[in-house]
Structure 1
């Protein structure tokens, strides 16, 4: 399955037409504030992101979905799964993450899309544990993780940038759906 429908969203694989809208989302400093080094991403960076996400789909059978509004077809952002490469505490584990355009904040889209991606991981793909990283201070993402049922498990430092990250996790046996 490479498409999931929720009451308001379609989670799907990436299309060529998604590059510019995602680039506009990732060019917004407010969107990127809590991601990586916090810097906005260029069109070229965004093209590399989509390419890497699609490669992960091909290699792992899961990845980061494009998030589209069901009614309008507008690209709202990205949500999905990836194999974490750092920090060492979760390297090799399947993690969940998201980024939505600012126009889509505060409407429950992140929770709705992340719930669908988590269910896809645990029920469709047979992954028995999903982790997440949340930068200390990112209360909006921490709230989404709480709604998903992921529990805080500790704090680690980002291996490159040095800021604190909360590690969250959920096992299939803990998942309430």
Structure 2
């Protein structure tokens, strides 16, 4: 099966390499980056996640791609599409998500990479809709969602977190194929 890779003006979204594991572990261990997730990940947890992501891409030909700078081939984070396994009341769905090393924040990379993923979702996978969700405190990700043309749909409590957990309340954003195509 041919694995899809995406390119933008500055970025390449590709299958993962074992060389990505060390910077990915750095990303996942950073307390500031992971403040909107239940906890930072250990090296073992991060490596297991990267391996799972690689396997899903190998099985589906698409997924949560590693993102690298085109000019230097430096790994800077990940962006992509995923079918969530949690028991959400808005399933079935395909989620878009991203996470970048802190030194690459504020440069428009998340929006640029995610836009390419939405284009892929609607033109290649022929999806009708893509969702994104995050903890209500994660304003930077919500701003990316809004820049992508996604709109707020509802607040909900993440089923994998206890209701009293400080990150339990999430926001759900959506974008339809029709809406995306009108904006591009």
The question of a shared fold, defined as TM-score above 0.5 by the shorter chain, is answered with yes
Please state how far the C-alpha of 1:87 moved relative to its aligned partner: 4.4
Instruction: Name the CA distance, whole Å, in 1 between partners of 2:152 and 2:87.
Output: 16
Partner of 2:31: 29
Say what the alpha-carbon RMSD is for the aligned residues: 1.4
Q: How many residue pairs are counted as aligned between the two chains?
A: 175
1:37-57 CA-to-partner distances (Å, cap 9, x unmatched) read 1x1112211111112212222
- 1-side partners of 2:49 and 2:92: how far apart? 19
Q: How does 1:36-51 map onto structure 2 within 5 Å?
A: 37=38, 39-51=39-51
Alpha-carbon distance, 1:16 to partner: 1.1
Q: Distance in 1 between matches of 2:133 and 2:87?
A: 9
Identify the residue that residue 77 of structure 2 maps to in structure 1. Answer: 77
Q: Is the 8 A contact 2:133 2:171 kept in 1?
A: yes
Query: How far apart, in 2, do the equivalents of 1:81 and 1:140 lie?
Result: 19
Instruction: State the match for 2:120 in structure 1.
Output: 120
Residue of structure 1 in register with 2:179 after alignment: 174
What is aligned with 2:151? 151
* Residues in 2 aligned to 1:85 and 1:93: alpha-carbon distance in whole angstroms: 10
Unmatched 5+ residue regions in structure 2? Answer: none
State the secondary structure of the residue aligned to 2:120.
Answer: helix
Q: Distance in 1 between matches of 2:52 and 2:74?
A: 22
Aligned mates of 1:7, 1:145 — CA distance in 2:
20
- Structure 1 unaligned regions, length at least 5: none
Query: Counterpart of 1:65?
Result: 65
2:110 and 2:148 map into 1 onto residues whose CA distance is: 11
TM-score normalized with structure 2 length = 0.89
